[in-house]
Every structure is written in structure tokens, then in C-alpha cells.
Amino acid sequence: MTETMTVVRALNEGLRRAMQDNPRLLLMGEDIGTLGGVFRVTDGLQKDFGAQRVIDSPLSESAIIGTSVGLAVAGYRTVCEIQFDGFVFPAFNQIVNQVAKMHKRTDGIYTMGVVIRLPFQGGIGAIEHHSESPEAYFAHTPGLRVVSCSTPHDAYWMIQQAAASDDPVIFCEPKSRYWDKGEVATDAPTHGLYEAVVVRPGSDITMVGHGSYVKVMLKAAETAQAEGRSIEVIDLRSLAPLDLETIEASVKKTGRLVVVQEAPHSASVGAEIVSEIARRCFYELRAPALVVSGYHVPFPISRYEDVYRPSVERILDGVDRVLEYDS
């Protein structure tokens, strides 16, 4: 069965299905109950499942995550909402020192069935602390899984897969895509939670990215196609672990790699991909791999965010640069 949904509705329906499947699954966050969340992702869920399962928390991210640790030890699962990306840092200590380490610390006695929903990236003209890309902090942390959906279909299935995971999952949601519509096949997932997916085949360049930039990469690939350049686009979907095998297979075919991300380049997911592919595909690469990213400055005020965020033009400039090595 296929149905057209926005990303917001797909997440809502995915959470609803996960809660129906597991009566020990709870939702927690600021304003997620009566209001339904800032972006209305949890709209109607408290009415249907009750205030003891869809919990309006105090204004304290560290308390939300700390409580989820205790609940996990007691055998519950939680999906916690952080309202905006920049608000996750008050909970950073709980995430990296407790959520990420409890399973190892207890020699496997306790699992951490904790999902932390994180609306991330810019593109909505928001104020400071509302347009961050903090995924590399968590991808660097052993014990955490980090994933990002880019379509309604993936949003619907990935949130359910994350909620069923015994490993803690940072679930990055591209807030600028919340109202994008797409087809959702509700019968069965098409991919595993940690699999990258080739969303557009090509032969000249491999282009890799995640979150809101999958749509931008596809637009860049369409523009390049009109100029006779064939770009293969890969949606990472998982940032920790990285599905390097899918990227490697593509690069061995195309001989070139461009990674696109909104986060700054330094010590980033894109930098890790370039490092690994340079090692794995040393003899197949026909040009140095390239990262097109945000600049190494704090995310700017809204009037300058279009300058900061990689555009189709900047991405195509990166394409031109990797193709220069054939001249």
C-alpha cells in the first residue's frame, strides 16, 4: 500500500505504529503532548495514547535524556524530542557519558533503547541556535548510532527501526524538509536502518550527502545532466555507522567523489568519508575527492544563511573542480 505524506506526517504515523507495536515505548519532550511539538510531529499522540506515554517534560534537555536512561534500565524504550538542534548541548553530558556508554559499562546487562529526535540543519530563516549541524559530535562517539532521513518513506520506516533498536540512536530530521511530500510504502521497509541508497544512478561522478541536501544534490545532478555530466547521487541515511561499501562500489565505477554537507568541513562526516574512500579507492580515483560544505564559522543570522549553506551553484563548482583533472 502506498500513500502520499509529508515528512512530518510520516514521522507521526511511524511513531504511532511503533507505540502500537510496543506498549513499553514512551515519548518525552518539551511541548510534545498538548501542543504536538513545535513542528507538530507528535500531534494527536497524547490524545490517543495518554499523558503517561506521551510526556510533556520540563524545560530541561539534560533531565529528558537522564530520565530516558533510567527508563531504559527499567526495561522501557523512549523516543525523546529535542526541539531544535542547538538545544541538544545541555544534554551532551548525559548523551556521551551515559546513553552511549551504559551498555559497555554494564557488560551488556543493560541496553539503551533510546532515540533522540534532533531537528537539524538550516533553511528555515531561524534565529541563533536553531540551525545547527551537530551530527559529527555524535558520529564521533562510540556507542551511538546516528541516522538521518530525507524522504517521507524513510522518515516513516527509519523512526520505527530506530525505536526498535537496542542501541541508542541520534535521529537527525532535516527541518527544512518537514513539509516536503512523497510516496510512503506502508507495507514493508525497503532498506535497513544503516544502509546508504543510490537515489540517482550515474557514471561520471559519485555525489554523497544526507538530510536536506539529498534534494539539493538531485537538483544539481539534473542541472549537470543538461551539460552532459552524469552524477550518481547517494543518500547516506546513516552517519554512524557509515555504509562505506556502497560509496566504495560507486566510486570504483565513477572514479570521482564529491561529498556535500551543511556542517563545516573540519573533522566532519564528509572529511571521514573522503579519508576512507581515498584509502579504499586509491587506484580507482581519477581526481582528489572534494567536500562542499558550510564555512568554518558559526551558523549566521538568517539573512546570510543562503550564503553559508552550499547551493546548487557551489556544488556544481565542486563538480567542475574534480573534472578539471581530465583536462
Q: 152-163 vs 7-21: helix axis angle to the nearest 10?
A: 30
What does the pLDDT look like over 60-106, one tens digit per residue? 999 999 999 999 999 999 999 999 999 999 999 999 999 999 999 99
Q: What pLDDT shows up at residue 327?
A: 52
**Could you give the CA distance from residue 169 to residue 18 in angstroms, rounded to a whole number?**
15
CB of 246 closer than 8 Å to CB of 254: no
Residue 127's region, left for phi above 0, alpha for psi from -120 to 50, else beta, is: beta
**Domains recognised in the chain with CATH numbers:** 2-185 (3.40.50.970), 197-326 (3.40.50.920)
Residue 73 contacts residue 108 (beta carbons within 8 Å): no
Confidence of residue 317 (pLDDT cuts 50, 70, 90): very high
DSSP character at residue 241:
T
- The Cβ of residue 175 has, within 10 Å, a number of other Cβ atoms equal to 25
Query: What integer pLDDT is reported at residue 188 of this predicted model?
Result: 87
Q: Encode pLDDT of 13-45 as tens digits.
A: 999 999 999 999 999 999 999 999 999 999 999
Sign of torsion over alpha carbons 143, 214, 279, 320: negative
Structure confidence at residue 325 (pLDDT): 85
Residues annotated as catalytic are: 130
Cell numbers linked to 114: 533510546
Termini Cα distance of the chain = 49
225 membership: H or E segment, kind and range: helix 213-226
* pLDDT of 23: 97
Q: 127 or 253: which carries more pLDDT confidence? A: 253
* CA gap 285, 75 in Å, rounded: 48
pLDDT given for residue 285 in this prediction? 97
What is the mean predicted confidence (pLDDT) over 207-231? 97
Check: pTM over 0.75? Answer yes or no: yes
Average pLDDT over all residues of the chain: 96
